Amino acid sequence: MRIDVLTIFPAYLAPLELSLVGKAHEAGLLDLRVHDLREWTQDRHRTVDDTPFGGGAGMVMRPDVWGRALDDVLTPGAHLLLPTPSGDVFTQATAHAWADEESHLVIACGRYEGIDARVAEHYRAAGVRVSEYSIGDYVLNGGEVAALVVVEAVARLLPGVVGNPASLVEESHGEAGLLEYPVYTKPPQWRDLDVPDVLLSGHHARIARWRRDEALRRTAARRPDLIAALAAGALDAHDRAV
């Protein structure tokens, strides 16, 4: 997969050189390119923004600069992503869809009050798939952190990026629709706390049942919305008793 990120702060994306995403890039599993939007400015001051028509506080990013940049970077079939707090919420299901179905993502990071609305309108009209997405109900200073989130969430689902694919199976927001159960490692006793006996029992069926019970309890306590959203038949009689 190829991912291009356009930003006025390329240094913000430096963490993508680390850890799994960095290794995926080095191994050629992910073709990641970070661009400085100011390279597409044409004035001495390298201006990317201006005051909003209609008045109001803050600055808006100019469509002409974004248009030159995106014309250069978009390829046929690319999916243009615009991080914005007013977008559709990005979820694990979105990450799976993009990891499985896309070959080129272009993430255009806005700053200030956002990007002139004609940019999304123009590329949609030109037949480009455009998704405005939010990473949650809070406001960041720009799209860079939201770009980091998408690159990491999508890249780890690409074939070969996570060494042991089994570790993707049981995690929170996975197929079961539940939060993950609590996990423990050595030592079996730490301070005054013991690892639950069942996990030391070697009894696989009991361990699986305990983990599902814990996942159900956690999800019901912390995210009742996820329980409500489970498919009919997702919970059996035992589950409902937990």
Binding site residues, ligand ADE, CB under 6 A: 83-85, 134-136, 138-140, 143, 146
Tokens of 128: 């480009």
199 carries a ligand binding annotation: no
Is 207 annotated to bind a ligand? Reply is: no
Q: How far is the CB of 114 from ligand ADE (least distance, A)?
A: 8
Q: Where are the alpha helices (DSSP H) in the chain?
A: 19-26, 63-73, 92-101, 118-125, 144-155, 204-222, 224-228, 237-241
Run of H or E including 212: helix 204-222
- Kindly give, in sequence order, each residue whose CB lies less than 8 Å from that of residue 152, ignoring residues fewer than 6 positions away: 16, 20, 21
Q: Minimum distance from CB of 81 to ligand ADE (Å)? A: 10
State the Cα–Cα distance between residues 196 and 200, nearest whole angstrom: 7
Task: Note the helical H segments in 11-108.
Answer: 19-26, 63-73, 92-101
| Residue closer to ligand ADE (CB basis): 109 or 216 | 109
Nearer to ligand ADE, 110 or 181 (CB): 110
Q: How far is the CB of 141 from ligand ADE (least distance, A)?
A: 7
> Considering beta carbons, is residue 24 or 135 the nearer one to ligand ADE?
135
Cβ proximity to ligand ADE: between 1 and 146 the closer is: 146
184 is an annotated ligand-binding site residue: no
Binding site feature residues for S-adenosyl-L-methionine: 110, 135-140
